[in-house]
Amino acid sequence: MLIIERYLAREILRPAIGVFVFLVVVVLVFYASQLLGRAAVEGFPMDVVLSMAILRLGIFLDVLIPIALLLGIVTGLGRLQSAHEITALAAVGGGRRRVVYAVGFWVLLLAVLVAALAMSFRPWAYATVYELERSMTAELNLERIEPGRFQVGDQTWLLYAEGRSDGGLNEVMVHQRMADFDGLVRARRLDQQDEGDGLIRLIFSGDVHSYRIEHTGNSDLIGHFDRLEVLFQSRPPAQRAQLRRAMSTGELLSSDEPIELAELHWRLVSPISVLVLALAAIAMSRINPRLGQSARVLSASIVGTLYFSVLGVLINWLEQGSLTPWPGVYLAPMGVLIILAIRYWLVQRGPGAPL
């Protein structure tokens, strides 16, 4: 690579790296704050919270990288444009083609990276996140219960204990909310046994009182026992939306269901988005220098937001079966390319040499 190309690549990609680091920090803080709130309520271990935050950040990289590249190229190339360095380059026989050559290698490299993230890392990360969520939120784990505080086991369980001893809980109250009834159990002692395959056995002992209140108006049940054992499935089956995100790309290729096709096309369009938004950034840097850098950044932010918003709408339509697989979600990058082609044609027709 020649000296000029190296200089252009450095000046254009350096802002992209800065934008990417900023976005990564913002997203990581957002996910960490969300998960820390759940950890405080549900007693998640901190290592699990950190792992889930990092995994969710990795899943989001196929959006962060194109956005950072768009804003970075617009910022870096806009600065060169404002300093008339692009004009000087054009005066000695260079121009926009020189800029494209300078950043083209790095853009292609990032597109390959995004493709690898979307095709391989994304399903693995989703599978890991869902497994962590199922094991931590759906499981009523007595080891996470803090005496003297109400503890949420998942969306159906609420547990309170006055003390702890010998791996169990003392003076407990357990409330279970189901679709057709509410259940309440009070006992002197509660122990837990893991039966395997996601099954948990709760053993209530000592002056056990059980109440079952029916929502349908049927007779309520009240019981008094010396010992009561409850066996339940701690890990609910994964929903279909979760399964398709955790499916490998090979499995998605063999499926013709709309919901799986939507996930497949998201993975396929991700590297294309890198190339399309990079070309859009090069074109947008030609905005009138008198408008300043803020106008370029604002315009690039709007373009990136609109692009991924439209892409999200197209993905939803494809999931619902109201959009055909072709052109399908590719309407978004095709629309951007058509606009860029029209703009390039208008610039070529204009007076003076295009910069």
Quick: pLDDT tens for 39-75.
665 666 777 778 888 898 899 999 999 999 999 988 8
| DSSP labels, 93-144 | T--HHHHHHHHHHHHHHHHHHHHHIIIIIHHHHHHHHHHHHHHHHS---GGG
Looking at the fold, whether 287 and 343 belong to one and the same domain comes out as yes
Q: Does residue 286 form part of some domain?
A: yes
| DSSP labels, 54-105 | HHHHHHTHHHHHHHHHHHHHHHHHHHHHHTTHHHHHHHTT--HHHHHHHHHH
| Cβ(126)–Cβ(245) below 8 Å | yes
Q: Does residue 355 form part of some domain?
A: no
Written as tens digits, the pLDDT of the chain (355 aa) is: 577 778 778 888 888 999 999 999 998 888 878 777 766 656 667 777 788 888 988 999 999 999 999 999 888 887 777 666 666 666 666 666 777 777 888 899 999 999 999 999 999 999 898 888 776 655 556 666 778 777 766 667 788 888 888 878 888 888 887 777 888 899 999 888 877 766 778 889 888 888 888 877 777 788 888 888 887 766 555 555 567 888 888 888 888 888 889 999 999 999 999 999 999 988 887 655 566 667 778 888 899 999 999 999 999 999 888 888 888 899 999 999 999 888 878 776 655 444 4
| pLDDT of the residue at 355 | 45
| pLDDT of the residue at 231 | 79
Q: Within 13 Å and on the Cβ side, how many CA atoms surround 234?
A: 24
Per the structure, the complete domain to which residue 217 belongs is given by: 143-233
Q: Within 13 Å and on the Cβ side, how many CA atoms surround 108?
A: 6
**Domain count of the chain?**
2
Looking at the fold, whether 103 and 152 belong to one and the same domain comes out as no
Looking at the fold, whether 163 and 282 belong to one and the same domain comes out as no
Phi, psi for 6 (deg, rounded to 5): -65, -40
CA–CA distance, 114 with 15 (Å, rounded to integer): 19
Looking at the fold, whether 246 and 333 belong to one and the same domain comes out as yes
CA–CA distance, 143 with 145 (Å, rounded to integer): 6
Looking at the fold, whether 154 and 88 belong to one and the same domain comes out as no
CA–CA distance, 355 with 341 (Å, rounded to integer): 16
| Cβ(55)–Cβ(246) below 8 Å | no
* pTM of structure: 0.74
Q: Does residue 11 form part of some domain?
A: yes
Where does a domain end: 233, 266, 288? 233
| Cβ(295)–Cβ(284) below 8 Å | no
Where does a domain end: 194, 218, 233? 233
| pLDDT of the residue at 332 | 92
| DSSP labels, 255-312 | ---HHHHHHHHHHHHHHHHHHHHHHHHHHHTTS-GGGHHHHHHHHHHHHHHHHHHHHH
| pLDDT of the residue at 353 | 44
Q: Which helix (H) or strand (E) holds 317?
A: helix 292-320
Where does a domain end: 202, 233, 264? 233
Comparing C-alpha atoms, which of 331, 346, 333 is closest to residue 303?
333
Looking at the fold, whether 250 and 274 belong to one and the same domain comes out as yes
Looking at the fold, whether 170 and 221 belong to one and the same domain comes out as yes
The sign of the dihedral angle between the CA atoms of 117, 121, 123, 128 is negative
| Cβ(293)–Cβ(299) below 8 Å | no
| pLDDT of the residue at 152 | 66
Angle 109-119-59 from CA coordinates, rounded to 5°: 90
CA–CA distance, 163 with 173 (Å, rounded to integer): 12
Q: Output the six-digit token pair for 187.
A: 């006992």
Report in angstroms the alpha-carbon separations of 29 from 32, 33, 41. Answer: 5, 6, 18
Phi, psi for 160 (deg, rounded to 5): -135, 140
Q: How many Cβ atoms sit within 10 Å of the Cβ of residue 267?
A: 20
CA–CA distance, 277 with 337 (Å, rounded to integer): 9
Q: Does residue 182 form part of some domain?
A: yes
